[in-house]
Amino acid sequence: MQPWKILGSEIVFDAEPFVQVSKQRIALPDGGVIEDFYQVHLRPFSLTVPITEDGRVLILRAYKHGPGRVCLTFPGGFIDPGETPRDAAARELLEEAGYAGTEIMPLGRFTDNGNQKGCTGHYFLVRGCRAVQPPSAGDHEEMALELHDPVALDEFLRDGTLAITHDAAAWAFARLHMGQAGL
């Protein structure tokens, strides 16, 4: 299989730093041409699955406008310019939950839409988490911190309480890692 070749690209919508949409002209390997293939460009983010010192999973209950309801979500957010994904993960955990961890392990980097791109997520498992300051999300979000055992999170994944793909994926990635580590 061969990659598609971008013959041209123009920004058709720009609301930086949040979203850009570009229209690309694409040459296909079979010689065909797509005149208007759209790409959505969102900022990259980091997301953490925090595990406390006593083995519970820290999660936030918050209203999320995408699904239009209150759901469970892990601490995470956009990576600031010049910031590493790992640093963003630690910063978001501290801001949103008031927690810091002793060990931050990468779980992977993934693109959230296979064709239109969307954004790139960097996922981390953070162990040894403990409260170090009051949470301060400060960006129009009201959140309640909850602690659950891993089995409860498995059920939240099954029943759709983890309603956002990034959070469901983060828990699945963490569970894979935790299983491999014998936890």
- Which parts of 79-116 are beta strand (E)? 99-100, 103-113
Instruction: State how far the Cα of 77 lies from the Cα of 40, in Å rounded to an integer.
Output: 18
pLDDT in tens, 44-70: 999 999 999 999 999 999 998 888 889
- Beta carbons of 141 and 70 less than 8 angstroms apart: no
Query: Mean pLDDT, the chain, as a whole number?
Result: 92
pLDDT in tens, 20-44: 999 999 999 999 999 999 999 999 9
Q: Which residue, among 49, 76, 48, 51, has the nearest Cα to 62 in the 3D structure? A: 76
45-180 is classed CATH 3.90.79.10:
yes
| pLDDT band at residue 1 under the 50/70/90 scheme | confident
Instruction: State how far the Cα of 107 lies from the Cα of 124, in Å rounded to an integer.
Output: 5
Token couple for 126: 């953070």
Instruction: State how far the Cα of 47 lies from the Cα of 92, in Å rounded to an integer.
Output: 8
DSSP state of 84: -
Helix/strand/coil for 13: strand
What residue segments make up the domains of the chain, in order of their start? Answer: 5-42, 45-180
pTM (2 d.p.): 0.89
pLDDT in tens, 158-183: 998 998 999 999 999 999 988 755 44
